[in-house]
Structure 1
Amino acid sequence: MRKVFLSWCAIGLGTLLSASAQDLSKKIPLDPDVKIGKLKNGISYYIRKNVEPKNRAELRLAVKAGSLLETDAQQGLAHFMEHMNFNGTTNFPKNELVNFLQKTGVRFGADLNAYTSFDETVYMLPIPTDSAGLLDRGLQVLEDWAHGALLDPSEIEKERGVVLEESRMGRGAQQRMRDKYFKMILNNSRYAERLPIGKDSILKAFKPETIKAFYKDWYRPDLMAVIAVGDFDPAKVEATIIQKFSSIPVPVKPKKRTEYTIPLDGATNVAIVTDPEYPQNLIQVIYKQPETKEKTLLDVRNNMAQDLYNAMMGQRMQELTQKANPPFLYGGSQYGDFLGNLDAYTSVALAKDAASMETALTAVLEENARVQKFGFTAPELDRAKKDFLNSIEQDYKEKNKTKSAEYVQEYLGHFLHDEAFMGIEEYYSLVKKNLDGVSLNEVNALAKKYITDKNISVVLMGPEKSKDALLTEAKIRSLLAGTGKNVTAYVDDVLDSPLLSAEPKAGKVVSEKAFPKLDMTELVLSNGVKVMLKPTDFKNDEILLKATGKGGYSLFPGERETGMFTSYMIQSGGVGPYNQTQLQKFLAGKTVNGGPFVGELTEGVGGSTNPKDLETTLQLIYAYFTAPRKDAEVVAGMLANQKSYLENMKKTLTPEKVFSDTLSAVLSNYNPDRRPLTPESIDKVNLDRALTMYKDRFSDASDFVFTFVGAFKIDEIKPLLEKYLGSLPSTDRDDTFKHPNIFPPKGRIEKTVYKGLEPKSRVSLISSGEYTYSPENNIQIEALQEVLQIKLIEALREEESGVYGVSVSESTEKFPTGHYRYSIGFGCAPENVDKLIKRTQEEITKIKQKGADSKDIDKFVAETNRKMETSLKTNGFWLNYLDNNTYLGDDLDEVFQQEKLLKSITTESTKAAANTYFNDDNFIKVVLMPEKK
Structure 2
Amino acid sequence: MTIRLPPRLIIASLAALSLICGEGIALARSSPARPAKAALAAQPASVQPQRPWLYENSDVPIDGAWLFGTLPNGLRYAIRRNGVPPGQISIRLRIDAGSLHEREDESGYAHFIEHLTFRGSRFVPDGESKRIWQRLGVSFGSDSNAQTTPTATTYALDLPDASSESVEESIKILAGMISDPNIVPAAVEAERAVVLAEMREGQGAASRVGDASRALFFAGQPLGSHAPIGTAQSLEAASAASLRAFHDRWYRPENAVIAISGDTDPKAVEALIERHFAGWKPQGAPVSAPGFGTPDPQAPASAVVVQAGAPPSLTLVWLRPWAPKADTIDYNQRKLADSVAIQMINRRLEGAARRAGSAFLQAGIDVDDVSRSANGTFVSIVPSARGWEQALREVRAIIEDAKASVPGEAEIEREYRAFETNLAVDVENQSVEASATQAGNIVAAVDIRETTVTAQAALDIYRGARAIMTPAAMLDATRRMFGGDAMRAMLVLPQMEAGAQARLDAALQAPVVASSDVRLTGKPVTMADLPALPPPGTVVSRVPVGVLGMELITFSNGTRLTLFANSGEGGKVHMNVRFGHGLLDLSPTRTQPTWAAGYVLGANGIGTLGQRELDELTNARRLGFDFGIDDDAFEMSALTRQADYRDQLRLFAAKLHAPGWDAGPVERVKAGLIAAYDGAAATPGGVLGHRLGWLLRKKDARYRTPDKAEIAALTPEHFRAFWEPILASGPVEVQIFGDVKPNEAIAAVAETFGALPPRAQRPIERAARKVRFPAHNSKPLVLLHEGNADQAAAMIAWPTGAGLANAREGRQLDILAQIITDRLFERLRAAEGVAYSPNAQADWPLAFDKGRGYILAMSQLKPGSTDYFFTLVREIAADLAARPVSDDELQRVLAPTRQLLARASTGNAYWMNQMEGAAYDRRYVEAMIALPNDMLRITPERLRQLAAKYLVDRKSYSVVVLPRVK
TM range (shorter): over 0.9
Q: In 1, distance between residues paired with 2:797 and 2:197?
A: 23
**Matched residue SS, 2:118:** coil
Deviation of 1:725 (Å): 2.1
Q: In 2, distance between residues paired with 1:870 and 1:396?
A: 23
**Matched residue SS, 1:517:** coil
Q: Per the alignment, do residues 203 and 568 of structure 1 end up closer, same or farther by CA in structure 2, a change over 3 Å counting? A: closer
Q: In 2, distance between residues paired with 1:606 and 1:775?
A: 25
The match for 1:504 is: 534
Q: Per the alignment, do residues 181 and 772 of structure 1 end up closer, same or farther by CA in structure 2, a change over 3 Å counting? A: closer
Provide Cα deviations, 1:132-186, integer angstroms capped at 9, x if missing partner. 4011111112201221212232222111111110111122233444444533211
Show structure 2 runs of 5+ residues with no match. 8-24, 34-56
Residue 283 of structure 1: which of 304, 310, 314 is its match? 314
Residues 759-838 of structure 1: pairs in structure 2 closer than 5 A: 759-771=790-802, 773=804, 774-814=806-846, 815-838=848-871
Amino acid at match of 2:493: G
**Matched residue SS, 2:547:** helix
* 8 Å CA contact 2:312, 2:675 repeated in 1: no
Deviation of 1:848 (Å): 1.3
Q: Per the alignment, do residues 796 and 600 of structure 1 end up closer, same or farther by CA in structure 2, a change over 3 Å counting? A: closer
The match for 1:363 is: 394
Residue 27 of structure 2: which of 10, 17, 29 is its match? 10
Residue 482 of structure 1: which of 508, 511, 534 is its match? 511
Amino acid at match of 1:638: R
* 8 Å CA contact 2:656, 2:728 repeated in 1: yes
The match for 1:444 is: 475
Aligned-pair identity (%): 20
Q: In 1, distance between residues paired with 2:562 and 2:813?
A: 29
Q: Per the alignment, do residues 615 and 675 of structure 1 end up closer, same or farther by CA in structure 2, a change over 3 Å counting? A: closer
Question: Comparing 757-766 with 687-696, which one deviates more in the overlay?
Answer: 687-696
Provide Cα deviations, 1:40-63, integer angstroms capped at 9, x if missing partner. 111111111111111001112111
| 2:693 paired with 1:676 | no
| 2:948 paired with 1:915 | yes
The match for 2:874 is: 841
The match for 2:191 is: 159
Deviation of 1:359 (Å): 1.7
**Matched residue SS, 1:896:** helix
Residue 891 of structure 2: which of 838, 858, 861 is its match? 858
The match for 2:788 is: 757
| 2:441 paired with 1:410 | yes
* 8 Å CA contact 1:329, 1:351 repeated in 2: yes
Amino acid at match of 2:255: L
| 2:734 paired with 1:706 | yes
The match for 2:39 is: none
Deviation of 1:490 (Å): 2.3
Deviation of 1:893 (Å): 3.7
Amino acid at match of 2:835: V
Question: Comparing 388-397 with 201-210, which one deviates more in the overlay?
Answer: 201-210
Residue 345 of structure 1: which of 355, 358, 377 is its match? 377
**Matched residue SS, 2:944:** helix
Residue 747 of structure 2: which of 703, 708, 719 is its match? 719
Q: Per the alignment, do residues 476 and 851 of structure 1 end up closer, same or farther by CA in structure 2, a change over 3 Å counting? A: farther
| 2:258 paired with 1:243 | no
Q: Per the alignment, do residues 99 and 560 of structure 1 end up closer, same or farther by CA in structure 2, a change over 3 Å counting? A: same
Q: In 2, distance between residues paired with 1:298 and 1:738?
A: 67
Amino acid at match of 2:5: F
Q: In 1, distance between residues paired with 2:398 and 2:902?
A: 49
* 8 Å CA contact 2:150, 2:371 repeated in 1: no
Residue 195 of structure 1: which of 218, 222, 227 is its match? 227
Amino acid at match of 1:834: D
Provide Cα deviations, 1:651-673, integer angstroms capped at 9, x if missing partner. x8665544544545543444555
Q: Per the alignment, do residues 529 and 418 of structure 1 end up closer, same or farther by CA in structure 2, a change over 3 Å counting? A: same
The match for 1:142 is: 174
Provide Cα deviations, 1:805-838, integer angstroms capped at 9, x if missing partner. 1111111123141422122121122222222332
Amino acid at match of 1:624: K
Amino acid at match of 1:827: Q
Q: In 1, distance between residues paired with 2:498 and 2:611?
A: 34
The match for 1:328 is: 360
* 8 Å CA contact 1:3, 1:303 repeated in 2: no
The match for 1:696 is: 725
| 2:569 paired with 1:539 | yes
* 8 Å CA contact 2:100, 2:222 repeated in 1: yes
Q: In 1, distance between residues paired with 2:699 and 2:559?
A: 39
**Matched residue SS, 1:574:** coil
Root-mean-square deviation over aligned CA pairs: 2.8
* 8 Å CA contact 2:802, 2:849 repeated in 1: no
Amino acid at match of 2:613: Q
Q: In 1, distance between residues paired with 2:499 and 2:698?
A: 40
Residue 253 of structure 2: which of 206, 221, 235 is its match? 221
Q: In 2, distance between residues paired with 1:178 and 1:517?
A: 50
Q: In 2, distance between residues paired with 1:659 and 1:239?
A: 50
The match for 2:66 is: 34
* 8 Å CA contact 1:530, 1:705 repeated in 2: yes
The match for 1:19 is: none
The match for 1:20 is: none
Deviation of 1:485 (Å): 4.5
Residues 77-156 of structure 1: pairs in structure 2 closer than 5 A: 77-156=109-188
The match for 2:675 is: 645
Deviation of 1:573 (Å): 2.6
Residue 894 of structure 1: which of 927, 932, 938 is its match? 927
Q: TM-score, normalised by structure 2?
A: 0.89
* 8 Å CA contact 2:197, 2:834 repeated in 1: yes
Deviation of 1:6 (Å): 6.0
| 2:203 paired with 1:171 | yes
* 8 Å CA contact 2:311, 2:676 repeated in 1: no
**Matched residue SS, 2:130:** helix
* 8 Å CA contact 2:88, 2:263 repeated in 1: yes
Q: In 2, distance between residues paired with 1:217 and 1:648?
A: 45
Deviation of 1:420 (Å): 1.4
Q: Per the alignment, do residues 266 and 441 of structure 1 end up closer, same or farther by CA in structure 2, a change over 3 Å counting? A: farther
Provide Cα deviations, 1:698-754, integer angstroms capped at 9, x if missing partner. 3346x2111100001102222222222221110464754665445331222512234
**Matched residue SS, 1:468:** coil
**Matched residue SS, 1:133:** helix
Provide Cα deviations, 1:376-413, integer angstroms capped at 9, x if missing partner. 33222221122111111111112221111221122113
| 2:453 paired with 1:422 | yes
**Matched residue SS, 2:228:** coil
Q: Per the alignment, do residues 132 and 407 of structure 1 end up closer, same or farther by CA in structure 2, a change over 3 Å counting? A: closer
Show structure 1 runs of 5+ residues with no match. 17-24
Residue 396 of structure 1: which of 401, 422, 427 is its match? 427
Question: Comparing 395-404 with 669-678, which one deviates more in the overlay?
Answer: 669-678
Q: Per the alignment, do residues 777 and 457 of structure 1 end up closer, same or farther by CA in structure 2, a change over 3 Å counting? A: same
Q: Per the alignment, do residues 659 and 903 of structure 1 end up closer, same or farther by CA in structure 2, a change over 3 Å counting? A: closer
Residue 623 of structure 2: which of 592, 595, 601 is its match? 592
Deviation of 1:237 (Å): 0.6
Q: In 1, distance between residues paired with 2:583 and 2:278?
A: 65
Q: TM-score, normalised by structure 1?
A: 0.92
Q: Per the alignment, do residues 772 and 337 of structure 1 end up closer, same or farther by CA in structure 2, a change over 3 Å counting? A: same
Deviation of 1:860 (Å): 2.1
Deviation of 1:764 (Å): 1.6
* 8 Å CA contact 1:561, 1:685 repeated in 2: no
Amino acid at match of 2:27: A
The match for 1:459 is: 490
* 8 Å CA contact 1:308, 1:384 repeated in 2: yes
Q: In 2, distance between residues paired with 1:868 and 1:344?
A: 43
Q: Per the alignment, do residues 502 and 644 of structure 1 end up closer, same or farther by CA in structure 2, a change over 3 Å counting? A: closer
Q: Per the alignment, do residues 733 and 458 of structure 1 end up closer, same or farther by CA in structure 2, a change over 3 Å counting? A: closer
Provide Cα deviations, 1:63-110, integer angstroms capped at 9, x if missing partner. 111222223333222111111112211111112321111012211112
The match for 1:517 is: 547
Q: In 1, distance between residues paired with 2:712 and 2:222?
A: 50
Amino acid at match of 1:905: I
Q: Per the alignment, do residues 686 and 47 of structure 1 end up closer, same or farther by CA in structure 2, a change over 3 Å counting? A: same
